[in-house]
Structure 1
Amino acid sequence: MKLPQFLSPGMRTYTAVWFGQMVSMIGTALTDFGVGVWIYQKTGSATPFAMVLLCMVVPGILATPVAGALADRWDRRRTMVLADAGAALSTLFMAVMLFAGRLELWHILAAVAFASTCRAFQGPAWMASTTQLVPAEQLGRASGMMNFGRAVAGILGPALGGVLVPAIGLQQVMLIDFATFIVAVGILFAVRFPPLPARAEPDAPKQPLLKEAAAGWQYVGSQPALRAHLLFFALVNLALGYVWVLHAPLVLGFAGPGSLGLVGSAMGAGLLAGSLVMTITGGPKRKAAAILSYGVLLGLSLMLMGARPWVPLVAAAMFGITVGIPVVNGSLMALWMPRIPADLRGRTYAVIQMLVWSTEPIAYLSAGVLADALFKPLLVQGGPLAGTLGALTGVGPTRGIGLLLGVAGIFVLAVTAAMALLPHFRTADSIPLAAEPDAPPVAAAEEPASEGAPVPVPA
């Protein structure tokens, strides 16, 4: 694949790696769809889906601090290769167990947990490398490209899975996924990343790994604006966690699977549209203001989603929820990564990732209990709110889910208003960029840079 010559060397490298990762994400989405079908056919229960979601998130959260420290110590390209290879092996393991007729739920949970740990190592290494490859003014566009890849995977994965799983079977779908990992790893072998940034004290001995990991926490603790932004994102992710768990039962409570597919299409279309905006424009100039604006959009969309049992309304709300996700994620990345010292970016990004993800398991564990035990009885026939609020929203078995999502929307609006009152939250764009250290010299034995190979690009 010949890359456009108008791109800078670093951006060409980023684009090549991005393409490989997108192909891999499409393969992963195929497997996720097929495994979901397999689990439902074997168990007929929703509980295993919650278990899989937890295994997708929790191991990665626990591994992230150490992974971030190693991303600042190890060669980042090789770290990504190992992470992709580990995720590929987890898929191959499931395929082998399925072929042998011995695949069980606990095998899937173990494989998903291992893949989650591998992603914890890949994320900080890739993000820290991106800031070296891509100029600071292009970071929003780079984030948009990655979210575009996720959106394409989210749309194509289920669509292709619905055709391929019945036609060729889950095992062959898993082998296709394994092949996409080979594409991603092959591209990583073919490119070169800039050398690791010079250490602040090059002659100082290496610190213990946990002490190095703590440096990321110390940096976050020293930045009031970053702490406020991370608190905002953590609380927003809590609200979004309820959306991911509850939107399917909300729709299926008053409509059929086809309507749920329409809502899923709106979700994918929103992610795709937001990603294209970021890729084309590079994102908003006032990034802190964009983050607050998404809080308003999310809060209103959540309230709209729960207002009435009407599929077009829910689909429009889901589009509003997802269209802003690539923009707000890209704004956070473009705002903070150039302001973090280069030799701290891997471990600091790991801390950012860990804190932002930390609330998702709370939503996964509490959504069902809150919806069924607390909110559902309020809006059924004869419930305490049936004659008042129910006159506006309707009554029925899933109207409690709508009420829960509406309350989550009010919560997000309140959080957004509180953050908007903090001067350091609003003025974070004015914080100076971090100085970029000179790259360490390349050893004579290393391969010389050829056309298209990356050179250190100021972030």
Structure 2
Amino acid sequence: MEKKNWFKTYLFIWIGQFISLLTSSAVNFAVIMWLSLSYKSAEILAYAAIAGLLPQALIGPFAGVYIDRWDRKKVMIFADAFIASCTFVMTFILKEGDINLYLLYSIMALRSIGSAFHSPAMQAIAPLLVPEDKLLRVSGVNQMLQSISSIAGPALGALAIAAFPINKVLYLDIIGACLAICSLLFVQIPNPKRERVSGSIKQVWRDLKLGFYAIHQNKGLNRMFLYAMLATVAIMPVAIMFPILTIEHFKGAELEMSIVESIWGVGMLLGGTVLSAFKLSFRKIVLVNAMHILLGLTFVLSGLLSADAFYLFVLVTGLGGMGMSIFSAAFMTIIQEEVAPEMLGRVFSLYFSFAILPSLVGLLFAGNIADSLGVATAFIIAGIFMVGIGLLSFLTPSLMTLGNGVTQNQEV
């Protein structure tokens, strides 16, 4: 497959996706800030997260089958349009007055359906466009774009919610989605060759089983999936509890919340910069395992810090963001290298679904722990769990041999 002009094509994609990421980050932060300040409940934040994740987990595997069959560019366009439409409906729900949280959860669930198609399609196009020896660097750039949006997004969201009611702030997300769609119209994204197949339930189930097999037959890959799925049990609850920790434990407000969110993005930016700018000789699986441990330690430290150590908490948060960036880039690159392009839609969808389902259990428990024992205790428990996963990963032989083939031995 021709990949000579891959950079020009990806540049258009990067521009559109960056704008969309930036506006989504601003809106997500604004909604989290609004929920945190209005209700001050980790349980409500957990329910909101579950509403935004559960549909994606349930339909994700089946979505992946169709992503591998359909034009991936069109999948991304229609998914963006659907998500923007759901956001538009949310503008009518989040008006001043009594908010029906269950209706809000329902619209968030619909947005999750769009994400079930968009995220795996976005990850599945990289190996079709990018030379294999550039995949980790491209993943690094992707992490940098997410990082910059994580830095600027909260600041933009804080300014927007200070100037406008929450329902008006949502229009930023709609504008970003429209611009992302426009950028995709100017590029051509190849699709892997595939046989013409029927759309019967039997055929869909057969294709889904092929995705399972692509993971199962590679012992190192399925162990990596297993540990990453377990890690989300800790990562996802901690991610939604950062605002509560900032407000309750460190006695912060809107400014402190935006600082914490932004510094996480700064850390991710540094991690993405390191991966994209330098040729690292570390094996990617070593990076994945080491970042599990690093993230866990930052969670534990965040929970142990005293209430007057806010700026040390900020520093630790930045270190965690850097670890998350390196982990995500290395993890996604391993999958892109180990799995055939025509199977990537299914494999990424299966991973996203398998990772989300256990994290929902973690969200429920963490919400209860945070509201009963304190959010700092929830951070410590999650961190210890993460460190354990990292240590276990280094002690798993099949996992440590992952990437020892010719393709993975190259310097990245």
- The normalised TM-score by structure 2 is 0.88
Q: Which amino acid aligns with 1:357?
A: I
Q: 1:256 to 1:203 in 2, by over 3 A?
A: closer
Please tell me whether residue 69 in structure 1 is matched to residue 57 in structure 2: no
In the alignment, the residues of structure 1 paired with residue 276 and residue 131 of structure 2 have an alpha-carbon distance, to the nearest angstrom, of 14
Alpha-carbon offset, residue 235 of structure 1? 2.1
- Match 2:229 to one of 225, 228, 234: 234
1:53 is matched with: 49
Equivalenced residues, count: 400
Please tell me whether residue 412 in structure 1 is matched to residue 412 in structure 2: no
In the alignment, the residues of structure 2 paired with residue 235 and residue 203 of structure 1 have an alpha-carbon distance, to the nearest angstrom, of 37
Provide, for residues 216-255 of structure 1, a one-character-per-residue CA deviation record: whole Å limited to 9, x for no partner: 1121111110111112212222222242244333343243
Larger deviation, residues 162-171 vs 266-275: 162-171
1:313 is matched with: 312
2:216 is matched with: 221
Residue correspondence of structure 1 range 42-121 to structure 2 within 5 A: 46-97=42-93, 104-121=100-117
Q: Retained in 2: the 8 A contact 1:94–1:107?
A: no
SS of 1:324's equivalent in the other structure is helix
Unaligned runs of 5+ in 2: none
Residue correspondence of structure 1 range 69-218 to structure 2 within 5 A: 69-97=65-93, 104-194=100-190, 196-199=191-194, 202=195, 208-218=203-213
Provide, for residues 87-131 of structure 1, a one-character-per-residue CA deviation record: whole Å limited to 9, x for no partner: 110111122455798974333222211111101101221221111
Aligned-pair RMSD on alpha carbons?
2.7
Q: 1:421 to 1:263 in 2, by over 3 A?
A: same
Q: Retained in 2: the 8 A contact 1:216–1:348?
A: yes
SS of 2:304's equivalent in the other structure is coil
Q: Which amino acid aligns with 2:252?
A: G
Alpha-carbon offset, residue 68 of structure 1? 0.6
Q: Retained in 1: the 8 A contact 2:271–2:322?
A: yes
Provide, for residues 342-401 of structure 1, a one-character-per-residue CA deviation record: whole Å limited to 9, x for no partner: 22111112112222333321221111322444xx3xxxxxxxxxxxxxxxxxxxxx5xx4
1:344 is matched with: 343
In the alignment, the residues of structure 1 paired with residue 149 and residue 57 of structure 2 have an alpha-carbon distance, to the nearest angstrom, of 23
2:322 is matched with: 323
Q: Which amino acid aligns with 1:304?
A: L
- Match 2:11 to one of 8, 15, 37: 15
Q: Retained in 2: the 8 A contact 1:304–1:313?
A: no
SS of 1:191's equivalent in the other structure is coil
In the alignment, the residues of structure 2 paired with residue 302 and residue 101 of structure 1 have an alpha-carbon distance, to the nearest angstrom, of 36
Provide, for residues 268-290 of structure 1, a one-character-per-residue CA deviation record: whole Å limited to 9, x for no partner: 22112112222323665411111
Alpha-carbon offset, residue 203 of structure 1? 7.0
Q: 1:244 to 1:132 in 2, by over 3 A?
A: same
In the alignment, the residues of structure 1 paired with residue 305 and residue 98 of structure 2 have an alpha-carbon distance, to the nearest angstrom, of 45
Q: 1:404 to 1:70 in 2, by over 3 A?
A: same
SS of 1:359's equivalent in the other structure is helix
Provide, for residues 311-337 of structure 1, a one-character-per-residue CA deviation record: whole Å limited to 9, x for no partner: 233223222221111211111122221
- Match 1:423 to one of 393, 397, 409: 397
Q: Retained in 2: the 8 A contact 1:144–1:282?
A: no
In the alignment, the residues of structure 2 paired with residue 403 and residue 38 of structure 1 have an alpha-carbon distance, to the nearest angstrom, of 24
1:278 is matched with: 275
Larger deviation, residues 361-370 vs 280-289: 280-289
> Computing the radius of gyration over CA atoms, which structure comes out larger, 1 or 2?
1
- The normalised TM-score by structure 1 is 0.79
Larger deviation, residues 339-348 vs 280-289: 280-289
